[in-house]
Amino acid sequence: MCGRYALEVDAQGLLRSYAAQPAKAFDWDAVFSIAPRTKAPVVREHIDDDSQPQRTLEFARWGFKPAWAKDKGPRPINARFETAHTNGMFRAGFASSRAVVPMTGYYEWVEMDDGKQ
């Protein structure tokens, strides 16, 4: 489970790589430390009126807020793939709300004697 990730591709590279259209005005530069609760690009696929798949590139905030959650409370940032489909917190979202999260790398903080690295 990652605590941060990097996306070293700019907006034009993402649009080309995923054969996607921007959902709105889309501007993105390479970022080497994307933290939880940050807005970052995701790719979503929709079926248009002609029953053809269309990909859009848009921003989404990293984190998860179940529909039943109160304003205050836990805000998970990730889930285990092996159990997301059965876990009560993620089950409905796993079944109906998917997106591709482009990244070029990820990392975890390591606790050291002098702090996190």
Structural domain count of the chain: 1
Conformation bin of residue 113: beta by default, left when phi > 0, alpha when psi is -120 to 50: alpha
Question: Does the residue 114 lie in any domain?
Answer: no
| CATH number of the CATH domain containing 13 | 3.90.1680.10
Question: Residue 113 falls within a domain, yes or no?
Answer: no
Q: Reply yes or no on whether the pLDDT at 74 is more than 70.
A: no
Domain assignment present for residue 115? The answer is no
Provide the whole-model pTM. 0.79
* CB within 8 Å of 33: residues ≥ 6 apart: 4, 6
pLDDT tens digit string along 16-55?
Answer: 999 999 988 889 999 999 998 899 999 999 998 999 999 9
7, 102 in Cβ contact below 8 A? yes
Domain with 39 in it: 4-106
Closest CA to 84 of 101, 96, 73, 68: 96
